[in-house]
Structure 1
Amino acid sequence: MKQVQWSNWSGSVRANPRTVLYPASIAEVEKVVRMCRQEGRRLRVVGSGHSFTPIAASEDCLISLDRMQGLVHVDAEARTATVWAGTKLKLLGELLFRQGLAQENLGDIDVQSIAGAISTGTHGTGRAFGNISTQVVGMAVVTGTGEVLECSGESHPDWFKALQVSLGTLGIIVQVTLRLEPAYKIEYESRRIPLGECLKQQARLAEENRHFEFYWFPYAEPCQIKLMNKSDQELREHRIKDYISDVLVENTFFGLISELCRKLPKASPYVSRLSASQVPLGRKVNYSHRLFATRRLVRFNEMEYNIPAESMNAVIEEMREEMSRNKYHVHFPVECRYAKGDDIWLSPAYDRDSAYIAIHMYKGMPYEDYFSAMEHIFLRYGGRPHWGKMHHLEAAQLKELYPMWEAFSAVRQELDPDGILLSDYTGRLLDVSGPISDSFSDIG
């Protein structure tokens, strides 16, 4: 038990929890929950701190599941694996690979814990694939009353749909059972084409490729498209070339020019055009878990919204017009991805095939005007915010975006009747309050 200052990855949120705990077993998690309930304290669980909102922050009791990582059980015949909830996605990929298995899709960052990823609706790209939560077939959860719940779509269908994306407000996920597939290789290809051409082709590219995404550089004409498809080819790695592109160009060099933009914001459009011209191009083949994610050493703040897939072009055009009118100091690319609709109650992709648009701003640069202007556009198209990324919505607005909002609230009341798993932030999101007050430092 120790007291520390906690910060998320980007540095946008800081908290000073009274207590930080590192349980190593389900029994220890139960004990902590019961203690907090008896003493009227609040409890939040943190994974890797990769959310840009205060969703994991607590000024009271903070639990890390870093000591609960690894495989619990693998069923090779059923192609499922039960894993400890604190397992980081990068480690999980390697552990599953040793068993001849892989997740069907991943996001472009793999440092999150599996529980954190599913609790916030983390996703990758691909029209045939839902977010990571759709891969979950079962969970073990310590509820807000300190009871251990084994939950699946068959045993507790309503609770399960609420738990698949729960914001950490229904219970502490301690184990996750995933539906998997045999380990597979993918061929990755990076191209550079004009944005106008990309928008003409994007629907076809999303349909024809297992995974497709594109990066649009504000104030620049070229954009980067990334295509990934299953492959039977031999591994094709270029260690020196990959180091140059992935580390030196996309991180070291980009970090230096980002610092230039922070000190000289008016340089941002020129830097954006320079970045677009230096996009690493080419192909490589490797196992899926080694290619989905990219290394992120340059820190930033991020907003991401889910919109109906068919609205992608219209939203991008409105964003371009807004940027042209107001000349925001932005040099980070806009990331555009796709996801299959699902039936998870608080999933941003609930009941619709979706596109995701993410905007970024280098750490230390003002982002509020840019993010707010883009958010207004997203909302005009029925946008739903990513739960782990910056947005300005509260319960009254969110309720209108999620048809199963009231059903989720009812499950939350059942599983955490005393609200010990709430913070002020999550309480505002869900329009409920807990037993004591939290305050967080948003340092931008």
Structure 2
Amino acid sequence: MIKSGRKWRNWSGVVTATPETVIYPLHIDEVAGIVKRCREEGLKLRVVGSGHSFTAIAASNNVLLSLDRMQGVLHVDHEACTVTVWAGTKLRILGELLHSEGLAQENLGDIDVQSIAGAISTGTHGTGVAFGNISTQVIGMTIVTGTGEVVDVTEKAQPELFKALQISLGSLGIIVQVTLRVRPAYKLRYDSSRVPLSSCLEQLDSLARGHRNFEFYWFPYAEPCQLKMLNETAEPVTPNKLGGYVSEVVLENAVFGALSALCRRLPRISPSVSRLCAAAVPTSSKVDYSHRVYATKRLVRFNEMEYNLPIEAMEPVIREMRERMASEGYRVHFPIECRFAKGDQIWLSPAYGRDSAYIAVHMYRGMPFERYFADMERIFLQYGGRPHWGKLHTLKARELRAAYPMWNPFHEMRRRLDPDGVFLTSYLQELFVE
């Protein structure tokens, strides 16, 4: 146990907390004891991973619990292609550990600093119409409930609890171990190209369904957009070249970071910087093992809002966003990220019951984002949008209940597993309690 008093900040710096205590347990029994103590003393407990959520989902002014000392692979079943890991294992570490066993996850997002438990709890996703979010790869979990009970959960044995736990915002219990369905290691060919946004939208369905993983970035006030395609390949791994380093680290981070800092000082130049960045989109390709291709270095910090939409809404929403940007003239230069995901039956998944599009808007850290995000959110909501749980949004319990068919059963489960609200911080009360 480490006494605190120091301020905790999330990755972007938009969320802060001053926990009384920060704890780094080493084993499950210790986690259970901490939960029981918090329950007895009426303290609010949250688990913090890498702090990569943009909301206050991990914040607590009472007790923060980190699983950073509970990382690594516990068991590998090569015949069944499953692996059990400590829940604090960071995705970057997990990728290399699986690779050493000749295995890999079937899909990942473009950031790999999160813990596997954090990625599961917030509905983290990659892109690809054939793939669900990372939670759909889970086949079993061990949790510590709000009463300190240790419970093993599988879909076959406890189907309702399992569907509630797959995305739970950490409100049902502390996930301490995760069993994942994996696959043999594979290589991906990454291709980046630049096309007019109008051309991208005309070919949207064929692009999304014609590649294993497809996403695109479009820039406010600019016509060119970036297409990113990933496809499995047997080609040899591309040697590390200076050009790749210059593109990924120097241009996408150092130069973009300098331009972003300039936009913060001189916001009026943001549209011009956006057009400059659009014109500089690289045309390139590379081959590497999957976990090394999915991840993108993110050294320039920002705030983000992302919404899930019915897949057919992608094109009309983008056209409406463009019209609103033209009329309002927001001072923004960050591109908009557009991805796809297969629908699922996870109770609190934004992709529940529908094949989905995801659209994410960003603003450089330190620049005002409220009006821009609010206007984009209104458009998303007109098309049945559901917010990503780890990204900024303004919805409260009443609006969320209307968006999720399994909302009431989820909360019945939550009250059963955490009857005293140990995990129910003020931020979660805003989301869950009307």
Which range, TM-score by smaller chain?
over 0.9
2:16 to 14, 17, 23: 14
Query: 1:52·1:302 contact (CA, 8 Å) conserved in 2?
Result: yes
SS of corresponding position for 1:193 = strand
Q: How far is 1:238 from its partner?
A: 3.7
Query: 1:53·1:390 contact (CA, 8 Å) conserved in 2?
Result: yes
Q: How far is 1:431 from its partner?
A: 0.6
Q: What's 1:293 paired with? A: 295
1:389-426 superposed Cα distances (whole Å, 9 cap, x missing partner): 00000000000000000010011011101110110001
Aligned pairs for 1:67-216 within 5 A: 67-216=69-218
Q: What's 2:48 paired with? A: 46
> Letter of the aligned partner of 2:197 in structure 1?
L
> Letter of the aligned partner of 2:193 in structure 1?
R
Q: Distance in 1 between matches of 2:130 and 2:223?
A: 29
Aligned residue pair count: 432
Q: What's 2:3 paired with? A: 2
SS of corresponding position for 1:213 = strand
Q: What's 2:392 paired with? A: 390
1:189-218 superposed Cα distances (whole Å, 9 cap, x missing partner): 000000000000111110110000000011
> Letter of the aligned partner of 1:336 in structure 2?
C
1:204-255 superposed Cα distances (whole Å, 9 cap, x missing partner): 1101100000000110110000000000001113431111001100000000
Backbone CA RMSD of aligned residues: 0.6
> Letter of the aligned partner of 1:303 in structure 2?
M
SS of corresponding position for 1:62 = strand
Q: How far is 1:41 from its partner?
A: 1.0
Q: Distance in 1 between matches of 2:190 and 2:389?
A: 28
User: Could you state the TM-score of these two structures normalised by the residue count of structure 1?
Assistant: 0.97
> Letter of the aligned partner of 1:199 in structure 2?
L
Q: Distance in 1 between matches of 2:240 and 2:180?
A: 32
Matched residues, percent identical?
64
> Letter of the aligned partner of 1:394 in structure 2?
K
Q: What's 1:64 paired with? A: 66
Q: Distance in 2 between matches of 1:153 and 1:135?
A: 12
1:225 to 211, 227, 238: 227
Query: 1:194·1:222 contact (CA, 8 Å) conserved in 2?
Result: yes
Query: 1:237·1:286 contact (CA, 8 Å) conserved in 2?
Result: no
Q: How far is 1:278 from its partner?
A: 1.1
Q: What's 2:418 paired with? A: 416
1:250-293 superposed Cα distances (whole Å, 9 cap, x missing partner): 00000000011101111011100110111122110000000001
Q: Distance in 2 between matches of 1:2 and 1:247?
A: 37
Aligned pairs for 1:225-244 within 5 A: 225-244=227-246
> Letter of the aligned partner of 2:141 in structure 1?
M
Q: Distance in 1 between matches of 2:222 and 2:240?
A: 28
1:315 to 313, 317, 340: 317
2:340 to 338, 341, 344: 338
> Letter of the aligned partner of 2:52 in structure 1?
H
Q: Distance in 1 between matches of 2:424 and 2:9?
A: 18
Aligned pairs for 1:397-408 within 5 A: 397-408=399-410
Q: What's 1:23 paired with? A: 25
1:261 to 260, 263, 270: 263
Q: How far is 1:66 from its partner?
A: 0.3
> Letter of the aligned partner of 2:355 in structure 1?
D
Q: Distance in 2 between matches of 1:426 and 1:77?
A: 41
SS of corresponding position for 2:57 = helix
